[in-house]
Amino acid sequence: MQFKDQVGFIRQHIKKNKLRVFMTVLAATMGTAFLIVLASVGFGIHETIRDQMLSNRLVTEVQVHQSEESGDPGEHVEEIKKLAHVKAVVDRQQLGTNQMSLFGEFEGNHVLVVTDFKEEGKVGFALKEGRLPQNANEVVVGSHFTDYLYSEEETESGDFKTYEGDLIGEQFTYRIDDVEGEFVEEELTLTIVGIGENPSREWVSDRNIYAHDAIIPELERIHYSDHVTGSDDHPDASQLFYHDVAVYVDKLENVKMVSNALRDKQYYVFSIADELEQIDVFFLALKAGLVFVGTIAILIASIGIFNTMTMAVTERTREIGVMKAIGADPKLIRRLFLMESAWIGIIGTVLAVVISYAVSAVSNYLLPIIVSAALGEEDFSELNVTFSVIPWQLVLIASAISISVAMISGWRPARKATKIDVINALRQEL
Amino acid sequence: MISVEDLNHSFKIGKKGKEKRVPVLKRVTFNVQDGEIVSIVGKSGSGKSTLLHIMAGFMHADSGVIRVNGVETSSFNEAENAKFRLDNFGFIFQNFQLMPGLTAFENVELPLKLKGVNQTERQQKVQSLMQHVGLTNVQDHYPNELSGGQQQRVSIARALITDPPVIFADEPTGSLDSETEQDVLLLIQSLNKARNITFVIITHDDEVARTADRVYTMRDGELSEGGMHDAV
């Protein structure tokens, strides 16, 4: 029998029992939609939490800290760079002392960071304007540098006056305190040669002053200028700066390998990938649980399919007998019934997918509004919380489960149809 | 054409564990020649329908051999039997056994669909045969909209559509009035002559048996040549 004729045969039978088939399709649709929507909540919460975590930190970044056994990672940057899959090692040295910048009439509250611009460039440090520093007196300022300049003078509207002119080429003075905590009279004059790119996160402010490592001896000399040389508490440069070492890995999947290599060197290591891994495992279990619960709904729907197909076989016993008598292959009979149950499964699944996407979209739109209204928190709807996400993998899993269950439900009735005895079937009354 | 050798069959009756075996066919042996009409007559319960069911491959005998055109069909499994039936046999039943959800045309077309014949060829063959058996004007009617005679004509057309060499007819006129019975018998005779189709007719009606070239009588599972009255 040609496939087209088999489809026609099934269509004709479905037409004959429209209501019963409709109710069965409805049950299959509801079961599958329940599975998809239920699991989509797991996917939605997982995605929201991942987004929240990833939006604050770089996913390929591994923060390296000193342990009692390891020594300062800042002292071993070159060694760390040699590890496999390490793209860059950024050793940002921050001053551990009070500092002040004076920009004309403005006083600034900035943080001086000494860094290796070559390494910074590898991980996306870019300039909005100007160029990188080439000597000890040249600096790049963060994009929010002017936001942290304050003037005693107030504007007409009552706000503090801020600097609104150009920065490139401008000079400012920079002061730090001494070992006693008093600001040293000697000032450094620094020239702004570049302005950093805005941070990718809108809410992050960059008020740093990025300087070349050639500035370190100057700062040390100023900081320890009043110190009595040769005394027992001889200054140690490492006390003035503290290292903030971040290792950047080439790919996310290699983060774990690099983290382990650093752990082997006794460093304390933190990476978002470690945290993500634990969260992913938890959500994988949660999603599997939700799919399992949803599958129970499909199994309940399968009882409907089983009943419908059993009824169909019983009602068509004589017809099946006639078909077998005139020469229909038992395999063809089984295929026709399996195709009918698969059709119920497929239509049910297609409808369920459409309905699930609609439910998902509506819930993502309405739930934040409802929750914020109920809790009285207006900001909730702006938090970008995703309640339900339906990835294609979920659609694939749900479809496979639904269609398989439909076919398994139809298997026994289909087998029963092939076992129908021709002689008994032909004896049935019309 | 068809040779039946030493066919034996019995049915189990009674409750499970206390079944009895009742013999229905006893050493049945006979031949049907190519292009002849053979009728098997006998009273109800004599075993004639069982013989037809075994010859058609609807069931297996306990022992014995059946050959059709030299092919031993008695050893076939269910799928092989189905394929052989589709290619070699046509069936005419007492209560027509038409598909109620299909029109007269579609009922006749069904065996061709099962054989996988394409639509254009099907249309031509069915159209031509419907014309031959005088059903063109009712081809779009459903079985419940047809008279008994018309339904049996549709049934005959369905049996003929695959050009089988053998047609088995089980009480073909059992549900028809005498006038329609004559029409159907004449149609069977004309088809036998025009197309050289072998007919094996099971009947308890002497009138029907008389249209046959040879008559066998079945009595208590034993087959003998000659009409019922001859046998008596």
Chain A's closest residue to B52, CA to CA, is A423
Residues A311, A418, single domain; the answer is yes
**Which of these ranges, A66-70, A323-327, A337-341, B75-79, has the smallest mean pLDDT?**
A66-70
Q: Of A266, A295, A319, which marks where a domain is finished?
A: A266
DSSP per position, A17-40: THHHHHHHHHHHHHHHHHHHHHHH
The range of the structural domain enclosing residue A373 comes to 3-56+279-427
Tally the residues of chain B.
232
pLDDT at B231 over 50: no
Measured distance CA(A403)–CA(A28) in Å, rounded:
9
Closest CB to B58 among A5, A325, A430: A325
**Which of these ranges, A268-282, A312-326, B52-66, has the smallest mean pLDDT?**
A268-282
Residues A101, A229, single domain; the answer is yes
Closest CB to A324 among B82, B110, B111: B82
Whole-angstrom distance between the N-terminal and C-terminal Cα of chain B?
A: 28
State the pairing for strand pair B71-72/B89-92. Answer: unpaired
The Cα of B88 is separated from the nearest Cα of chain A by a number of Å equal to 10
The Cα of A360 is separated from the nearest Cα of chain B by a number of Å equal to 43
Chain A's closest residue to B56, CA to CA, is A325
Residues of A in contact with B88 (CB under 8 A): none
Cβ–Cβ gap A331/B79 under 8 Å: yes
ipTM, 2 decimals?
A: 0.90
Confidence grade of residue B141 (pLDDT, cut at 50, 70, 90): very high
Cβ–Cβ gap A325/B97 under 8 Å: yes
Residues A122, A240, single domain; the answer is yes
Q: Quick one: tokens of A346? A: 């497929």
Residues A41, A90, single domain; the answer is no
Contact assessment for residue B99 and residue B154, using Cβ atoms and an 8 Å cutoff: no
Averaged pLDDT for residues A94-121 = 86
pLDDT confidence of residue A154: 62
Cβ–Cβ gap A326/B110 under 8 Å: yes
Cβ–Cβ gap B82/A318 under 8 Å: no
Measured distance CA(A412)–CA(A312) in Å, rounded:
12
H or E element in which residue A102 lies: strand A99-103
Residues of B in contact with A430 (CB under 8 A): 95, 100
Q: Which residues of A touch B (CB under 8 A)?
A: 1-2, 5, 9, 12-13, 16, 318-319, 321-332, 422-423, 426, 430
pLDDT at B96 over 70: yes
Contact assessment for residue A304 and residue A24, using Cβ atoms and an 8 Å cutoff: yes
8-state DSSP, B173: T
Condensed to tens digits (0 to 9), the pLDDT of residues A292-308 reads 888 888 888 888 888 88
The Cα of B232 is separated from the nearest Cα of chain A by a number of Å equal to 30
Residue type, B11: F
pLDDT confidence of residue B229: 46
Size of interface A-B (CB pairs under 8 A): 66
Residues A99, A190, single domain; the answer is yes
Does A223 map to a domain? Answer: yes
Inform me whether the C-beta atom of residue B110 falls under 8 Å from chain A C-beta atoms.
yes
Q: What is the mean pLDDT of chain B?
A: 87
The Cα of A8 is separated from the nearest Cα of chain B by a number of Å equal to 11
**Which of these ranges, A25-34, A224-233, A266-275, A297-306, has the smallest mean pLDDT?**
A224-233
Measured distance CA(A289)–CA(A292) in Å, rounded:
5
Contact assessment for residue A65 and residue A270, using Cβ atoms and an 8 Å cutoff: yes
What are chain B's domains?
2-231 (3.40.50.300)
Residues A259, A128, single domain; the answer is yes
Residues A189, A224, single domain; the answer is yes
Closest CB to A322 among B83, B87, B97: B97
Residues of A in contact with B87 (CB under 8 A): 327
Cβ–Cβ gap B59/A423 under 8 Å: yes
State the pairing for strand pair A208-211/A138-141. Answer: antiparallel
Chain A's closest residue to B49, CA to CA, is A423
Does A21 map to a domain? Answer: yes
Q: From residue B215, how far is each of A38, A303, A320, B199 by CA, in Å?
A: 73, 54, 32, 12
Residue B163's φ and ψ, nearest 5 degrees, are 50, 55
pLDDT at B136 over 90: no
Among left, alpha and beta (phi > 0; psi -120 to 50; other), residue A92 is beta
pLDDT confidence of residue A33: 92
pLDDT at B111 over 90: yes
Inform me whether the C-beta atom of residue B85 falls under 8 Å from chain A C-beta atoms.
yes
Domains in chain A, number: 2
* CB atoms inside a 10 Å sphere around CB B152: 29
8-state DSSP, A183: B
Distance of CA A271 to the CA centre of its chain: 14
Closest CB to A319 among B56, B86, B99: B99
Residues of B in contact with A323 (CB under 8 A): 110, 114
CA angle A188, A192, A196 (to 5 degrees): 130
Residues of A in contact with B98 (CB under 8 A): 322
Instruction: Give A74 or A267, the one with higher predicted confidence.
Output: A267
Contact assessment for residue A422 and residue A325, using Cβ atoms and an 8 Å cutoff: yes
The Cα of B100 is separated from the nearest Cα of chain A by a number of Å equal to 8
Most confident of A100-109, A371-380, B31-40: B31-40
Inform me whether the C-beta atom of residue B89 falls under 8 Å from chain A C-beta atoms.
yes
Measured distance CA(A180)–CA(B145) in Å, rounded:
114
Q: What is the mean pLDDT of chain A?
A: 84
Cβ–Cβ gap A325/B78 under 8 Å: no
Does A274 map to a domain? Answer: no
Inform me whether the C-beta atom of residue B83 falls under 8 Å from chain A C-beta atoms.
yes
Does A62 map to a domain? Answer: no
Cβ–Cβ gap A322/B99 under 8 Å: yes
Inform me whether the C-beta atom of residue B101 falls under 8 Å from chain A C-beta atoms.
yes
Question: Is residue A133 packed enough to be buried (19+ CB in 10 Å), middle (13-18) or exposed (0-12)?
Answer: buried
pLDDT confidence of residue A380: 60
Residues A399, A288, single domain; the answer is yes
Residues A232, A360, single domain; the answer is no
Confidence grade of residue B108 (pLDDT, cut at 50, 70, 90): very high
Hey, what's the torsion of the CAs at A227, A232, A233, A238, to 10 degrees? 100
pLDDT at A230 over 60: no
Beta bridge partner(s), residue A171: A191
Chain B's closest residue to A324, CA to CA, is B82
Closest CB to B91 among A5, A319, A326: A326
Residues A116, A35, single domain; the answer is no
Chain B's closest residue to A17, CA to CA, is B101
Q: Of A240, A266, A292, which marks where a domain is finished?
A: A266
Q: Quick one: tokens of B86? A: 């589709």
* CB atoms inside a 10 Å sphere around CB B142: 16
Cβ–Cβ gap A329/B53 under 8 Å: no
Confidence grade of residue A233 (pLDDT, cut at 50, 70, 90): low
Closest CB to B83 among A16, A318, A329: A329
Residues of A in contact with B110 (CB under 8 A): 323, 326
Q: Of A208, A234, A266, which marks where a domain is finished?
A: A266
Condensed to tens digits (0 to 9), the pLDDT of residues A176-221 reads 888 777 888 888 899 999 998 887 767 778 888 999 888 888 888 8
Cβ–Cβ gap A423/B101 under 8 Å: no
Averaged pLDDT for residues B2-30 = 87
Reported in sequence order, the residue ranges of A208-327 that DSSP labels E, i.e. its strands, are 208-211, 241-249, 268-271
How much of chain A exceeds pLDDT 90, in percent?
Answer: 13
The Cα of A350 is separated from the nearest Cα of chain B by a number of Å equal to 29
Residues A327, A386, single domain; the answer is yes
pLDDT confidence of residue A234: 46
DSSP per position, A255-276: HHHHHHHHHHTT-EEEEHHHHH
Condensed to tens digits (0 to 9), the pLDDT of residues A143-183 reads 888 888 887 666 566 666 777 788 889 999 988 888 777 88
For A172, residues 6+ apart whose C-beta sits below 8 A from its C-beta are A101, A102, A103, A104, A108, A189, A190, A192
Chain B's closest residue to A421, CA to CA, is B58
Averaged pLDDT for residues B45-63 = 89
Residues A262, A376, single domain; the answer is no
Does A272 map to a domain? Answer: no
Does A61 map to a domain? Answer: no
Reported in sequence order, the residue ranges of chain B that DSSP labels E, i.e. its strands, are 2-13, 20-32, 37-42, 63-68, 71-72, 89-92, 166-170, 198-203, 214-219, 222-225
Condensed to tens digits (0 to 9), the pLDDT of residues A327-377 reads 999 999 999 989 988 898 999 999 999 999 999 999 888 888 887 777 776
pLDDT at A259 over 50: yes
pLDDT confidence of residue A355: 94
pLDDT confidence of residue B86: 92
Does A319 map to a domain? Answer: yes
Closest CB to A329 among B79, B110, B113: B79
